[in-house]
Amino acid sequence: MQDSYDTSKLCTILRSEMTPLLKSDLVLFFRYRRDSASIELLASSDPTPHLGSIAAPDQSSLEWIEGLVDDDLMWFPDLGSAPLLLQEWGKSWNVSSMAVFFGSEADDIKDMIIISRKEKQDESWKKIDGELLEFLRGAMFVLEIYYLINEIDKMKTDIQSVFGLAPVGIIMVDSTGMIINANKHAISMLGCGIPLDDVIGDNILSGNRFKGSGLDEVVRKTLGGEETDTENMRYKSSSGRICYLHARMQPVPMMSGKMHAIGVLADVTQRVRLQQQLERSYQTLTEAFQELQRVDKMKTRFIDVVSHELRTPLTVMRGYLELLSSEYKEKMDPKVLSKLQTIKVNTDRLYDIVESMLDVARIEKGAMEITKQESSVRALVEGVVSSQRPLAQEKHQEIDVVTIGEVSSARIDAKKLHDALKNILNNAIRYTPEGGKIQVGMADEGKMIHIWIRDNGIGIPLSDLEKIFDRFHIVVAKELSHQVDRMGLGLPISKGIIENHGGKIWVESEPDKGSIFHIKIPKD
């Protein structure tokens, strides 16, 4: 608070100024607050009274205060006739007479000035009544201005501390581009590295410090009347350091007609650098992904070529083996025949693998041909089950077939769907221990046929569920190590066949509890 606006000083001035008019020993300013029915001592010409103390007036004194109107001047030449409150104050300050003036009333507040004397006052005070009233009105007016200025000063201090505490940089510039205020965050962001006072007064537009820094452009635009919001402003400090600022600036028209600008700055360098890093990583990843796609294509082509190349000799071999084992069966030594049988089984298996690889390649190329014909779904499912039942019986497993509702026929490629369902049922048998239970179900769901294959086998870990339909994906688990002929091709082929029918396949599974594969295919 500035000295010149010290209300206590004003009391002292009042006392000495009034001396020619009347002799006063003590001048006090009070404020009465109606909401709390309390009186506060605001200032005194004498430091001894309890400055700042709050007094709660007694009921009759309160009524007296409430009854007083603005601009009232009350005389108490002898405190004996004064309200109780004044009598008590008089005692504590050791005064015998008082004049009380009430200033204007505002917002439930009444300000009063008390002039008191040590001695009892004679009637001579009354003679100066008019003159004193004028004097006190003036004093009250000055007092109110003092309060107002002090209030503004306080607000200024508050704004200044908010300014300093704000976690962002704040700068204010005048119409010429000169910095008229800035907080320490702004100074450090702008990389000035010098005391605040040195920056204030610097000109962003014409000075050297900010020339070409990026900020000069933003300030120029804002002073032109444009509100600016520059998200990643590249800022180059006078020392050459580069950083990125989010600068929001607003033009502020002054009463003089000139335009000032106020700006909020946030340092976003770390974010921008991370973003740039992310963009670079994204670029690297995209390139790596493209490379992977290229290698993957090469691999698919390789499989395709090799499979085709293998298929022809294998077909020839199978033909000769068939011929040998049927036509020359009688002429052959049983030992040779048995060896021939083993060769035939293995050649057939090799042929199946080659066929599977070709199927995968066809699906990937979108070249799988589906020939739809009206066929019985029930017959299809039952055919699949009969083909796999001997396998299940070997493992003492039960296969239960359930039908919900009347399952009608559908337009399907029965042969391909047979292969797809066979793969899934075959898996259910393979990945379910001896004595397990398998259920194959079908239901008519209006436009779709729902088929499911449930087992109570080893189940599939959650981490593999997503990938189970990918080519060559097999679950790596100790209990599966004896399953040597796993290729990870059955499910992707089944999926390809089902999706080429416009249907879908998904799986629910829990390790050690079992799995359920759902297939839905449209009827036409």
Over the window 275 to 314, marking each residue x when it contacts ligand ADP by CB under 6 A and - when it does not, the resulting string is: ----------------------------------------
**Cα–Cα distance between 321 and 314 in angstroms, integer?**
10
Q: Is residue 491 at the binding interface for ligand ADP, with CB under 6 A as the rule?
A: yes
CA distance 148 to 79: 33
Residue 428 binds to ligand ADP (criterion: CB under 6 A) = yes
Which one among 475, 497, 519, 521 touches ligand ADP, defined by CB under 6 A? 475
The whole-angstrom separation of Cα 100 and Cα 118 is: 15
Nearer to ligand ADP, 486 or 504 (CB): 486
Q: Are strands 169-173 and 259-267 parallel, antiparallel or unpaired?
A: antiparallel
Decide if residue 427 touches ligand ADP (CB under 6 A): yes
Name the segment binding ligand ADP (CB under 6 A); options: 111-119, 330-338, 376-384, 457-465.
Answer: 457-465
Phi, psi angles (nearest 5°) of residue 63: -60, -40
CB of 517 to ligand ADP, least distance (A): 7
CB 37 within 8 A of CB 62: yes
Distances from the Cα of 377 to the Cα of 105, 397, 444, angstroms: 96, 24, 10
Inter-residue contact 75 to 99 (CB < 8 Å): yes
Query: How many residues are recorded in the chain?
Result: 524
If the CB atoms of residues 86 and 505 are measured against ligand ADP, the closer one turns out to be 505
Nearest to 36 by CA among 53, 61, 63, 54: 54
> What is the number of the residue whose Cβ is closest to ligand ADP?
490
CA 236 to centroid of chain Cα atoms: 30
CA distance 459 to 429: 12
- CB closer to ligand ADP, 337 vs 480: 480
CB count within 10 Å of CB 62 equals 19
Binding segment toward ligand ADP, per CB under 6 A, in 208-216, 380-388, 434-442, 482-490? 482-490
Residue 489 is a binding residue for ligand ADP (CB under 6 A) = yes
| CB burial readout 186-213, b (16+ within 10 A) else e | bbebbbbeeeeeebeebbbbeeebbeeb
Using the rule CB under 6 A, which residue among 97, 230, 423, 456 binds ligand ADP? 423
Identified binder of ligand ADP from the candidate list 458, 498, 505, 519, rule CB under 6 A:
458
Q: Which stretch binds ligand ADP (CB under 6 A): 126-134, 246-254, 340-348, 454-462?
A: 454-462
Q: Does 455 bind ligand ADP (CB under 6 A)?
A: yes
Contact (Cβ atoms closer than 8 angstroms) between residue 222 and residue 246: no
Among 86, 468, 497, 498, binds ligand ADP (CB under 6 A): 468
CB of 516 to ligand ADP, least distance (A): 9
Q: Please tell me whether residue 460 binds ligand ADP under the rule CB under 6 A.
A: yes
Shortest distance (Å) from residue 293 CB to ligand ADP: 22
Identity of the residue, 204 or 428, whose beta carbon is nearer to ligand ADP in the bound complex: 428
Residue 474, interface with ligand ADP (CB under 6 A)? yes
Q: Using the rule CB under 6 A, which residue among 57, 90, 436, 490 binds ligand ADP? A: 490
Residue 367 C-beta: closest distance to ligand ADP, Å = 20
As a three-state string, the secondary structure of 27-59 is EEEEEEECCCCEEEEEEECCCCCCCCCEECCCH
One of 318, 487, 504, 518 touching ligand ADP (CB under 6 A) = 487
Separation between Cα atoms, residue 34 and residue 52, nearest integer Å: 17
Query: From CA 251, how far away is CA 228, in angstroms rounded?
Result: 9
> Smallest gap, in angstroms, from Cβ of residue 298 to ligand ADP?
22
Note whether 431 binds ligand ADP by CB under 6 A: yes
Q: Measured between alpha carbons, how far is 107 from 32 in angstroms, rounded to an integer?
A: 11
Q: Which is nearer to ligand ADP, 169 or 503 (CB)?
A: 503
Name the segment binding ligand ADP (CB under 6 A); options: 5-13, 63-71, 327-335, 487-495: 487-495
Q: Give the range of 204-212, 244-252, 361-369, 481-489 binding ligand ADP by CB under 6 A.
A: 481-489
Stretch of 90-98, 179-187, 258-266, 456-464 contacting ligand ADP, by CB under 6 A: 456-464
Q: How far, in Å, CA of 218 to CA of 88, rounded?
A: 66
Q: What's the number of CA atoms in the CB half-sphere (13 Å) around residue 398?
A: 6
CA 183 to chain centre: 28
Instruction: Tell me the Cα Rg of the chain.
Output: 50
Size of the site for ligand ADP (CB under 6 A): 20
Question: Which of 83, 169, 457, 496 touches ligand ADP (CB under 6 A)?
Answer: 457
**Cβ nearer to ligand ADP, comparing 309 with 466:** 466
Q: Whole-number minimum distance, CB 426 to ligand ADP, in Å?
A: 8
Of the chain, the end-to-end C-alpha distance in Å amounts to 89
Position 515 contacts ligand ADP (CB under 6 A): yes
Task: State yes or no: residue 488 binds ligand ADP (CB under 6 A).
Answer: yes
> Residue 491 and residue 485: Cα distance in Å, rounded?
14
Q: 397 is written with which tokens? A: 């497993």
Question: Which of 167, 173, 208, 202 lies closest to 188, judged by CA?
Answer: 167
Task: State the minimum distance, in angstroms, from the CB of residue 496 to ligand ADP.
Answer: 11
Given the rule CB under 6 A, which residues bind ligand ADP? 423, 427-428, 431, 455, 457-460, 468, 474-475, 480, 486-491, 515
